[in-house]
A = this chain, B = another copy of it.
Amino acid sequence: MADIYSQFMYYEEKEFGIRQQIENMIGKREYEVFKNARKYIYEPGFFRNAPVMNDSVEAMKALNDRYEVFIVSAAMEFPNSLLEKHEWLGEHFPFLSWQQVVFCGLKTVVRGDIMIDDHYKNLDSFIGQTLLFTQPHNFGQQDKTHTRVETWGEIINLLL
Q: List A residues at the B interface (Cβ < 8 Å).
A: 70, 72, 75-77, 79, 82-83, 86-87, 97-106, 109-112, 127
Contact = CB atoms under 8 A, between A and B. Distances in A.
B99 A106 contact: yes
B79 A109 contact: no
Nearest to A96: B105
B98 A76 contact: yes
Q: Is the interface of A mostly helix, strand, loop or mixed?
A: mixed
A83 B86 contact: no
Given A76-B86, A83-B79, A86-B79, A109 B112 contact: yes
Nearest to A90: B79
Contact of A97 (B70, B104, B105, B109): B105
Copies in the assembly, this chain? 2
A75 B82 CA distance: 11
Contacts of A72: 109
Smallest CB-CB A-B distances: 7 pairs: A99-B105, A111-B111, A76-B98, A82-B82, A102-B104, A103-B103, A99-B106
A151 B103 CA distance: 28
Contact of A70 (B75, B86, B109, B112): B109
21 contacts: A70-B106, A75-B103, A76-B99, A76-B101, A76-B103, A77-B98, A79-B86, A79-B98, A82-B82, A82-B86, A83-B83, A97-B105, A99-B105, A100-B105, A102-B103, A102-B104, A103-B103, A103-B104, A109-B110, A110-B110, A110-B111
